[in-house]
Structure 1
Amino acid sequence: MSIAIVSGIIILVLLVIMLVAGVPIAVALGVSSVCAILPVMDIDVAVLTGAQRIFSGISVFSLLAIPFFILAGNIMNKGGIAIRLINLAKLITGRTPGALAQTNVIANMLFGAISGSGTAAASAMGSIIGPIEKEEGYDPNFSAAVNIATAPTGLLIPPSNVMITYSLVSGGTSVAALFMAGYIPGILWGLACMLVIYIIAKKKGYRAKSTFTAKEAGKVILQALPCLLLIVIVIGGIIGGIFTATEGSVVAVVYSLCLSLFVYKSITLKDLPKLFKESAEMTGIIIFLIGVSSIMSWVMAFTNIPEAVSSGLLAITNNKYIIFLLINIILLVVGTFMDMTPACLIFTPIFLPVCSALGMSTIHFGIMLIFNLCIGTITPPVGTTLFVGVKVGNVKIETVFKQLLIYFAAILAVLLLVTYIPQLSLWLPSLMGYV
């Protein structure tokens, strides 16, 4: 039996056992990785090398973007931006069937993109739109399902921390290219759900009960404009080469802080220490995960595990479309019990070489990977966005999940389009000269 197979089995078995036992994912990654290298390396050398890999893995300038985007997202979550985006979304949806639910989708796409968090979008939008929908006769389970199904769109529509993580672990894929590549898949996800909502709302008779006058519409647009300018400034600056993604994250913090403190006046200086503390805690978790995952990446490279996986998949079939389908299925399953960051860190070095060998670009693979893992955030047993949406909607998970099934069908259809039509991911990056 080759060393790649032995090491792979050790990592898989130990990782599963420790995760089932409730061991923190970062610890499980580190221990299983060190144990996997022991058949070919002394324990003192393995531990020392592992420690060195942790520090080298996090000593990357681009990783500074993560804490700043997290801080910017936390400021926006508390900064009164949600209600202004909801009003703008209501203006866009007008009197279409299920207008409030359609508003939820657009608001999730906008707020998720600005905050970079699916759970934040589900929490903010669900708590504001949910009660309004209930007053207008919407089924609470329907409302919660819409909110949950569309909250992850903001993880595909930039800026997105998981894209920065993928850029690092994939060997330096352009963050700007990934940002551009996420727009169309993220928007298609939202549009697919809006189509489902339209059909259901027409059947159930859900219609808007209020409209905006020209004066009110102007006020709504004026209030939402500063929020939208954040996307234009940050993404435009990165794409235009004015600043890097890391520098853009600092711009996002400064802009969102000024907006929340001086324009909307929804937070005060007294709120900042708590926001800084929450952001630091979240950053610590993510950065430590990235550092520990560097040990696993080194072990995989040393023992040739990616090559063994590639050979195994190619032994099943040499049809790239079937292999892409198999990878999608594996990632969908993984996403149901593992958070996005560790899943991205673990499976990128395993599947990226396979897809690259079959002609898939690193940008296209990154979007396919993130799309799969986004679906995992709304599926049990570890669907964080699902649980937040259920709690905010004050409904039971079993009743909501039944209503989510039709949205899963629409989302999976979009996933297949994104997988097999590369231009959906690559058109915008190529237009900007990144491909």
Structure 2
Amino acid sequence: MSVLVATLVLFGAFLLLLFLGVPIAISIAVSALATMLLVLPYDQASFVVMQKMNSGIESFTLLAVPLFILAGNIMNNGGIAGRLIRFAQLLTGRLPGSLAQTNVMGNMLFGALSGSAVAAAAAIGGTMNKAQEEQKYPKGFAAAVNIASAPTGLLIPPTAAFIVYSMIAGGVSISALFMAGVVPGILMGLVVMVVAFVHARRYDLPRSSSPSRGEVARITLDALPSLLLILLVVGGIVVGVFTATEGAGIAVLYCLVLSLLYRGLTWASLQRVLISSVATSGIILFLIAASSAMSWVMAYTGIPQAISEALLSVSGSVIVVFLLMNLILLVIGTFMDITPAILIFTPIFLPIVTDLGMDPVHFGVVLIFNMCIGTMTPPVGSVLFVGVSVARTTIEKVAPALVPYLLALVVLLLIVTFVPVLSLGLPGLLGLL
């Protein structure tokens, strides 16, 4: 069997099944099985695929993923979002279009705590949308700001995306990845704030009134327990006090206690949170299992090496190859969610970029940054659809306002790609590389 035939069968079957509306995890598993049938009888091929699916989720580290999902869902329902919004407003209240700036800062804080762009877009955007409507903010502008800033939490730690990438990339340090995402994640939020500032000046949007010193102290103290979660979990993992999985467990306990103290979580809402977390975790773990089988099949048939040779044959220039890689990943991000994209394309691109001198930690940041942009774009952009829904508007109205943010973020992506110190400086300074 030639590598070309294996590639055509694997990706041809995968795309065909997606086109027919088959769930992505099943599409991945079936396409992996179809490829193995080219070289093995059905009973052996099915056994190998199931074995690789099982081994793909036999990992203690992977337990961090459902635990972080549960922590994020508890925060989303436990009264934490409102406190973070009020704290964010203290930091941005004097800027033009202060409610939009508060939306960005709130997404950065809440996204970092929950590790979920969709949760941030729903919780922060849903709350801020009412206030922005009252102050006559254009709906398209308000929705675009929320959509563009919600994915910052996928880069600012703690985030499950880096944990998934670490597993697929062969045990790249989670601590290093967490620290590598800090600067690009903050820069992503700042870029959105700059574009929002320009638009706010153009629309002559109002500033918030200055709070009294007493209000500043009260709001800060109210938000402080939530903010300490980042320091507790990320700091503990980076210093080595506990593993990522143990840190995720601590995050669940901390968020649960905090939500109960805030009286934002009832027994009925806790049941809904647990059911929702189980459902989401089941989907993601099945995706990981299926993608593990596909990754093994690709390695067995030599597909990554063939793609690497084809890409390098286009040009020997590092700049050209990195530009092509980003272009491919940006296109992939438009129709594939972040978890399957990490699982499928890490084994393909990681060998290429490491051969060209890119650090695996740096590549992890670049890959996830690409997928962050993908969450904002149709046809599968989860953050786009949530942002449009909470703003009670349409994609047609949001799209023109969203374009400047997308262009600015693509420019930042290229800067992060070609300036490694933005990703590697902090983990290097902390001795994590």
What letter is aligned with 1:275? V
1:364 aligns with 2:340: no
How many Å separate the matches in 2 of 1:31 and 1:136? 51
Residue aligning to 1:265:
263
Residue aligning to 2:371:
373
Quote how far apart the aligned CAs of 1:292 are.
Answer: 1.1
How many Å separate the matches in 2 of 1:338 and 1:207? 38
Residue aligning to 1:345:
343
How many Å separate the matches in 2 of 1:223 and 1:28? 47
Taking the TM superposition and a 5 Å limit, the aligned residue runs for 1:234-245 are 234-245=233-244
What letter is aligned with 1:367? V
Residue aligning to 2:332:
334
How many Å separate the matches in 2 of 1:144 and 1:29? 33
Query: Which consecutive segments of 4 or more residues in structure 1 shift more than 4 A?
Result: none
How many Å separate the matches in 1 of 2:389 and 2:201? 27
Taking the TM superposition and a 5 Å limit, the aligned residue runs for 1:18-97 are 18-97=17-96
How many Å separate the matches in 2 of 1:95 and 1:207? 9
CA contact (8 A) 1:84 1:223 kept: yes
Quote how far apart the aligned CAs of 1:293 are.
Answer: 1.0
What letter is aligned with 1:40? V
Residue aligning to 2:414:
416
Residue aligning to 2:314:
316
CA contact (8 A) 2:98 2:208 kept: no
Quote how far apart the aligned CAs of 1:119 are.
Answer: 0.9
CA contact (8 A) 1:141 1:400 kept: yes
Tell me the SS of whatever aligns to 2:432. Answer: coil
In the TM superposition, what whole-angstrom CA distance separates every residue of 1:192-218 from its partner, at most 9, and x where no partner exists?
111111111112211214220000000
CA contact (8 A) 2:93 2:208 kept: no
CA contact (8 A) 1:95 1:207 kept: no
How many Å separate the matches in 1 of 2:163 and 2:6? 28
Quote how far apart the aligned CAs of 1:298 are.
Answer: 1.1
In the TM superposition, what whole-angstrom CA distance separates every residue of 1:392-427 from its partner, at most 9, and x where no partner exists?
001111110111000011101110011001111101
Count of aligned pairs: 433
What letter is aligned with 2:270? L
How many Å separate the matches in 2 of 1:387 and 1:424? 30
How many Å separate the matches in 1 of 2:256 and 2:136? 37
In the TM superposition, what whole-angstrom CA distance separates every residue of 1:326-379 from its partner, at most 9, and x where no partner exists?
010111101101111111111000111100110111101111000001111110
How many Å separate the matches in 1 of 2:336 and 2:418? 25
What letter is aligned with 1:240? V
What letter is aligned with 2:422? L
Identity over aligned pairs, percent: 52
How many Å separate the matches in 2 of 1:275 and 1:108? 20
Q: CA RMSD in A?
A: 1.0
Of the three residues 420, 423, 430, the one matched with 1:425 is 423
How many Å separate the matches in 2 of 1:53 and 1:145? 41
Residue aligning to 1:397:
395
How many Å separate the matches in 2 of 1:273 and 1:85? 24
What letter is aligned with 1:351? F
Quote how far apart the aligned CAs of 1:37 are.
Answer: 2.2
Q: Which deviates more, 350-359 or 204-213?
A: 204-213
How many Å separate the matches in 2 of 1:352 and 1:71? 30
How many Å separate the matches in 1 of 2:269 and 2:123? 18
Q: Which deviates more, 174-183 or 129-138?
A: 129-138
How many Å separate the matches in 2 of 1:180 and 1:196? 26
Tell me the SS of whatever aligns to 1:96. Answer: coil
What letter is aligned with 2:130? P
Residue aligning to 1:287:
285
How many Å separate the matches in 2 of 1:106 and 1:20? 38
What letter is aligned with 1:106? M
TM-score, normalized by length of structure 2? 0.98
- Structure 1 gap ranges (5+): none
In the TM superposition, what whole-angstrom CA distance separates every residue of 1:188-245 from its partner, at most 9, and x where no partner exists?
1111111111111112211214220000000010000000011010011111111000
What letter is aligned with 1:411? L
- Structure 2 gap ranges (5+): none
TM-score, normalized by length of structure 1? 0.98
Quote how far apart the aligned CAs of 1:141 are.
Answer: 1.2
Quote how far apart the aligned CAs of 1:295 are.
Answer: 1.1
Quote how far apart the aligned CAs of 1:290 are.
Answer: 0.7
Taking the TM superposition and a 5 Å limit, the aligned residue runs for 1:168-317 are 168-262=167-261, 264-317=262-315
Quote how far apart the aligned CAs of 1:144 are.
Answer: 0.7
How many Å separate the matches in 2 of 1:41 and 1:4? 15
Tell me the SS of whatever aligns to 1:151. Answer: helix
Quote how far apart the aligned CAs of 1:265 are.
Answer: 1.1
Quote how far apart the aligned CAs of 1:149 are.
Answer: 0.8
CA contact (8 A) 1:104 1:147 kept: yes
What letter is aligned with 2:425? W
